[in-house]
Structure 1
Amino acid sequence: MIRALAPLTLAVVLALGGCKASETAAPTDAATPTLTNPLLSSGPDPWVVHHGKTFYFLGTKGDRIAIRQTDDLSKLADAPEHTIWTPPAKGPNAVSIWAPEMHRLDGKWYVYYTAAQDGHDDDAHRGVFVLENASADPLKGEWTDRGQVNTKLTGLDGTVFEHGGKRWFVYSAYDGPDSVLAIAPMTNPWTLGPGETVIARPDQPFERQGGRQILEGPEFLAGPKGDLFLAYSASACWSDDYALGLLHAKPGSDPLNAASWTKSPRPVLAKSPENNVYGTGHNGFFTTDGGRKTWIVYHGNDGAGKKCTETRSPRVQRMEWSADGMPVFPVPSRAGAPLEAPQP
């Protein structure tokens, strides 16, 4: 975690209920605001929150957690970084501060992040931790350390979502040589209830590239017809074939039942050699226009062979939905190509 699609004129229809990939065309209306990818020259494991008229951006810094705030994502590079938390010198969350993501829950802000024990920066000493801030503005107030989430296994990349009147936690768990996806109910924003269940294992070829069998970076996406989706990053992050897979559960499904989830047999967002984008992964989703427009944020490399370094840069593109309520993922855009920009 130091973390090919078909020609653009052809939609790739996946076996998972009609998901497909399509390139989000540049707007034809000259008055439509645009952006170009990448948004920053560096920004692994990106996360965007749209709250009110503001966009908040977080990404892996390694030694701290920082937020950029802007009302125009096309000018994200001009937004100053605000460091909100630095790790202690000693303890279980002292090093390798990765993949922070911020959520608004119960009227407070929470940041979930991955960290490891000082002196033991390895999978056996890695976990997901939580910060809490009661301020309406995440750049103000005090961030309180709520400690480590009580997962059954060590792991990384925790996220939360709400469904069926309950709150759920999903993370990438280390299970022997594999990284798997596990889910559990939550009793509060930093505590899991009983019933943690593994819902996906790396059993597809596209999940075993780069010498490791990995599922990580799970992110929830609510379908317009009540379907549940979990996009996740597959394979080793240092592989050019790092890509996004997708799990799908039908409306009314029990998220704790592994049989509820169907996996796409191929990536839903992957490298685009024709656009010189590789290693696409570690995504998030947000909406604008009152929830009518869905956007994906992810990182990628401009060029092959750049592996899992600071060259990974954040990108934002519009998502679409098919008539039957399935997500339509974009083809990664070429650097500098104008795309529709989210509006606050």
Structure 2
Amino acid sequence: MLIFSTTLLLLSLTLIVSNVFGNTFTNPIVESAPDPWMQYYKGYYYMSATPGGNTIRIRKSKTLDGLRTATNQVVFNHTLHNTWAPEFHLINDKWYLYYTAGATGNLNSQRIHVAESQGDDPMGPYHFKADLHDPKENGWAIDPSIITINKHLYLLGSFQTPGLQDLFIMPLANPWTPSGSKILLSSPLLSWERSGTTIAVNEGPEALQHNNKTFIVYSASFCGTADYKLGLLELTGTDPMNPKHWHKHPQPYFVRNDSVHVYGPGHNGFFRSPDGHEDWIVYHANDKQEYGCDHHRSSRAKRFGWNSNGTPNFGTPDQAGVRLTSPSGE
């Protein structure tokens, strides 16, 4: 009887603490999960990450902290290999799964593809819809994402030009059909976009829109170094297909935090809190400087705010293992 009463007391105290202080979580939210992408939809967080192989998996949870132990469910199988950076986007009441894949052992064959869901469930099932690349191009095209500007749909990604890995934008007639050619949007010409290695990289472009401003947050420098980081492009003109209408901010926006042993923060996504009042970033990082582009990269989440000039303020990466307040509305 005493044991039963004690259990009830502990349960009551837990409920009281939860109601007063809200839910909490710790980073990393998922171990061995590079290139994370996340959405909050109809009461659940949904998250994907680079799986390798030829399957794409998504996990779902009522809470951010619950993603750590959530089932990593296969939602799509395909016949290619080296699957990287899958993202799922809701367009016209259907989910579309964009991903990079190619031939085994030949990373130069990495290309962008899209699968379509049967309805509005992020968990699918999905079926192959189309390839999103020009067969006449030789270099790889990776890291697909979607942006909508003035009701027009565009594909974002990263591709190779001689000696560089650049960002591109390409107009779409619908989620699986290009309506024009891709154009070069950004090249890694600044020193911090090539730090730590001779490989100059712009990759992982992600749309961020707030108060009538449009940004692209991208990853810079080689992911195999501790200097992997995030940069910022801002649409300052009216034509997103005109590179002159984009402004590259001269300094990086999210970098390593050596004081708490967080290295190489990058390849991010964005999501909103359950009540829609908070903006959050999900990204991967390493715990040690010597870790690189491998299974050591873990997914982490962080609430962010906005500067007075309308640009995002991501702050600095949080220390692993520190308990943080969960997104509002959990």
Q: Is TM more than 0.5 here?
A: yes
Equivalent residue number for residue 127 of structure 2: 144
Secondary structure of the residue aligned to 2:29 is coil
* Post-superposition CA distance 1:58-92 (Å, at most 9, x none): 0011011000011101121121111012221xxxx
CA contact (8 A) 1:43 1:313 kept: yes
Contact between 2:194 and 2:201, CA under 8 Å: does it hold in 1? yes
Could you tell me which of 159, 162, 174 is aligned with 2:148?
162
How many correspondences in the alignment?
306
Asked whether the equivalents of residues 107 and 134 of structure 1 are also in contact (C-alpha less than 8 Å), the reply is no
Q: In structure 1, how many angstroms separate the alpha carbons of the residues matched to 2:210 and 2:306?
A: 8
SS at match of 1:206: helix
Asked whether the 8 Å contact 1:96–1:121 carries over to 2, the reply is: no
Q: Which of residues 210, 216, 220 in structure 2 aligns to 1:223?
A: 210
Partner of 1:86: 77
- Structure with larger RCO (C-alpha < 8 A, sep 6+): 1
SS at match of 2:270: strand
Do the aligned residues in 1 keep the contact of 2:88 with 2:122 (CA within 8 Å)? Answer: no
Q: Are positions 1:133 and 2:123 aligned together?
A: no
1:233-280 deviations in whole A, cap 9, x for unaligned? 101110110000110113x62111101111122210010000100011
Corresponding residue number in structure 2 for 1:32: 22
Which letter does structure 1 place at the counterpart of 2:30? L
Tell me if 1:66 matches 2:57: yes
Q: Which runs of 5+ in 2 are unaligned?
A: 1-18
**Partner-residue secondary structure (3-state), 2:259:** helix
Q: Which amino acid aligns with 1:265?
A: P
Tell me which of 20, 33, 51 is aligned to 1:43: 33
1:14-29 mapped onto 2 (5 Å cutoff):
none
Q: 1:264 aligns with which of 249, 259, 276?
A: 249
Aligned amino acid, residue 137 of structure 1: D
Query: Identity across aligned pairs (percent)?
Result: 33
Task: Give the greater-gyration-radius structure (CA).
Answer: 2
Instruction: Please list every run of at least 4 consecutive aligned residues from structure 1 whose deviation after the TM superposition is greater than 6 angstroms.
Output: none
What TM-score do you get using the length of structure 2 for normalisation? Answer: 0.89
Is the 8 Å Cα contact of residues 40 and 76 (structure 1) preserved in structure 2?
yes
| Cα shift at 1:289 | 5.0
Alignment gaps of 5+ in structure 1: 1-28, 89-93
* 3-state SS of 1:311 partner: coil
Q: TM-score, normalised by structure 1?
A: 0.85
| In 1, Cα distance between equivalents of 2:210 and 2:43 | 23
C-alpha displacement of 1:330: 2.4
Task: Decide whether aligned partners of structure 1 residues 338 and 216 sit closer, same or farther in structure 2, where only a CA change above 3 A counts.
Answer: same
Query: Per-residue displacement from partner, 1:112-141 (whole Å, max 9, x unpaired)?
Result: 0000124x5222x1111101002222325x
Task: Map 1:1-344 to 2 at 5 A.
Answer: 31-63=21-53, 64-88=55-79, 94-118=80-104, 121-123=106-108, 125-140=109-124, 142-151=125-134, 154-209=140-195, 210-224=197-211, 226-250=212-236, 253-342=238-327, 343-344=329-330
